[in-house]
Chain A
């Protein structure tokens, strides 16, 4: 009995925990965080006002939260995984009834201190939920229809709720993260190929249910000059800003495109554009490298984790993080259509910051409690 309990719940001294922390990861997050504060400061033309203050406060609060969450035992997340998921769904349902609308979509709930965007929380919840789900399943069962159907339903519910807000971008990111975990868990390649084909076939139907602005965004993506003052405006101006940045950029606070307000949504989805305009190709590469290092550290933590849940979560979160970053950057450089997708840590937005820091907190807890092996 003593032996088995010690196996199930390894005890850690506080010193052990401090030693186990991945300080390198924390430093990377801190660096990206400070870069984001300076970028937001630049969007306000060098005034330390509303956005900068808000962003700085949020970053500091959630960064602290991330550090605190690191000490929450990973088994807690394992146990609460489904509760977390259900909470996410409930919040999404709340949005329908009590949500706040802004620019044509209903995505937020007023929580007094901040407007919470439940879809952002759902991004993490789906990873935790799937990690637990596949942790429990025998490898031989993974390919069976019974065990395949459940995660698909679990994925479709939040995706549907988010699409109807409407927020196509976040829905795609949630779906992408979920699929990444299913892939990591080992689902046969043929299912991915089949579902890809089905998607292709149903594409005309999907297009028909898209909102006009979404259709226009997709059409504009293929030809931004189609509507240079309307839907194509953002992407054209973003490309101009990035391109004119050149190798070393126009310099901090010197980005004319953003300073003169040619750049839309520069605080949020287009923060990379501003950064890239001011710091050029060199700066962009540094930022991308920092993100790559962050992802690398998370994957490393996954490898060092004993439990399958922790592994799957870390790899899944790393993949999701990559997906967020890729979709955002690809979008602002004109490789993907404009769908609302913030750049992790860099973009202004409390919910996004919250979800990333929450995700990182769980990663760090996987690191600190890496020796935990979680039973059924």
Chain B
């Protein structure tokens, strides 16, 4: 009986104890349930993202660069298929070993290997290293043969920039190279589309238009497993090619200009005087942009860098030269516009024995025996210095500076398109006070009249100046990339309406001009200057008479210029040495500006030969050849212009 009551007692206890235990279990179950609710309902989004992050990995595919063509659709910057070998670091078991094997297969040089190790230091363990960007077909096929021995090595078919006309356009088109940290920081577009091995524009159009050319990178999303192995492709957002660009350049004329400049340092620029299209912008010597695409070798780089003729300098817009006598039409125009002189004004040039004198300083004409009594037309035609000393003195440097700036000197022709373009110097009394903190001397005005002294211009500025004189005195908008907004007919009709606009006296004051606005007061003044330039080329005693075209359709008007690089001493004048006898660096720069055809002007050009001697001997003959080519291609260009307009 005792046992029975005890059993009852025990049963009572166990029931009570069980009740407590069950209550505890329910409590614990509640905790687990609320935890699950928390994870799966409240924070679902967070864990979903984490799960996707786990399983999805993105690979960026490189964008395709846009193609650059000339005006006639000839490709001047192309994308070429290249064979590369990449190394996926994740899959490499022994890096040194892999490199050693690769070295034997694709013949890597010591300095290349050093670069690879440097790159490896900087990359993350899951990065892909580009071992070689440009393999020959032989190396590539050999690589494929030995691929099973090379863990992580991947043969890749890729594209890279190729410039079919290598040397001819480097100063216009520029070149590409690996994006540096700075490139990435400076341009958002590069930052957004950066992939390892991305090439970006370094100079030229490639650099200026990088944002348009670069395109958008693609994104491949893969599902990966815990060890990073690709399981399947989830999506592929295809990369896009950048915008294709049509330049205003005429490849044939450009090539001819480069050929004409061969073995000399210099520049040739050609421009449409209405549309402002830069048809040619040649600079010599040049170099091969293709060498930069996959990183230039030290030897090649030194060769380019140490060349005395400075191939890296784009002389057309970053070379600064005294304009010499090419400034004279502008000086004459300024004097006429301000009414300082009239057409009948004459100055007597009496040769070296009777130089122009001012406050004891003597200023000589280039012609030893003198020109005699010079009118304005003759003074331009025969390029008489004495005449322009006097005109400049009467005009004053400030008025000259105002007109010079108006016609395109002293400011960047292509605005900020090229970072390396220079503004040059158009001096004035104010300029000298501000920059040099010195007063202006009248003697400086006198030499400015013949384009010497402080004045500094680029060949492209001289080309623009000539264009704006030849088109009858209207401001144009120079451009290098084809722009359908710039339409010849629209421009011509604008100019026509400007022609009949009455102008106030204010036009002679400092004034901002809009594009295609008239720049002159009296049209007759311009006519006179242009006519004098015609004389200079087409009449006997004209400085470029020897370079004239006899055929009517090629007739052009020009002005020679010879820009001194150092002051001519009396001794030099006495010696009167031949060009060959003077040290290269001391020889004069030869310049020539022209527009053609004379009766219905359409194109302007400037030629500069560094240390080429006189403009009439070194520069003008090149213009003769080039103008024929330009005019022969005129019809073709106009046809393309119409086609392009119709497409638009």
Residue positions of A touching B, CB distance < 8 A: 138-140, 180, 183-186, 237, 239-247, 256-257, 260-262, 276, 280-281, 284-285, 288, 292, 295, 299, 302, 308, 311-312, 315, 319, 322, 326, 329-330, 333-335
Contacts and interface: CB of A to CB of B under 8 A. Distances in A.
Nearest to B54: A262
A260 B226 contact: yes
B41 A281 contact: yes
B223 A243 contact: no
A244 B43 CA distance: 8
Contact of B17 (A183, A256, A284, A288): A183
Contacts of B35: 330, 333-335
Contacts of A280: 40
B32 interface: yes
Contact of A180 (B21, B40, B48, B226): B21
Given A260-B223, A260-B226, A245 B10 contact: no
Interface centre among B17, B40, B48, B225 (most CB of A within 10 A): B40
Contacts of B108: none
B224 A184 contact: no
B50 A240 contact: yes
Interface stretch (B22-30, B278-286, B385-393, B401-409): B22-30
Contact of B226 (A262, A311, A315, A326): A262
Contact of B44 (A138, A244, A315): A244
Interface in B66-102: none
B29 A326 contact: yes
B39 A239 contact: yes
B437 interface: no
Contacts of A299: 18, 22
Given A256-B51, A311-B11, A333 B224 contact: no
B231 interface: yes
Given A242-B47, A243-B48, A262-B55, A284 B6 contact: no
Given A284-B36, A299-B18, A335-B31, A260 B6 contact: no
B7 interface: yes
A319 B14 CA distance: 13
B6 A245 contact: no
Interface of chain A, helix or strand or loop or mixed? helix
Contacts of A326: 25, 28-29, 32
B49 to A, nearest CB: 8
A196 B14 CA distance: 22
B185 interface: no
Nearest to B2: A138
Interface of chain B, helix or strand or loop or mixed? helix
Given A243-B43, A260-B55, A311-B11, 9 more contacts: A240-B51, A243-B51, A244-B47, A244-B50, A276-B40, A281-B36, A299-B18, A315-B14, A334-B35
A249 to B, nearest CB: 9
B43 A292 contact: no
B330 to A, nearest CB: 74
B50 A260 contact: no
A190 to B, nearest CB: 14
Contacts of B224: 260
B39 A288 contact: no
Contact of A315 (B18, B39, B54): B18
A292 to B, nearest CB: 7
A292 B22 contact: no
B51 A244 contact: yes
B14 A186 contact: yes
Interface string B268-302: 00000000000000000000000000000000000
A242 B22 contact: no
Nearest to A333: B35
Contacts of A322: 25, 28
A332 B33 CA distance: 13
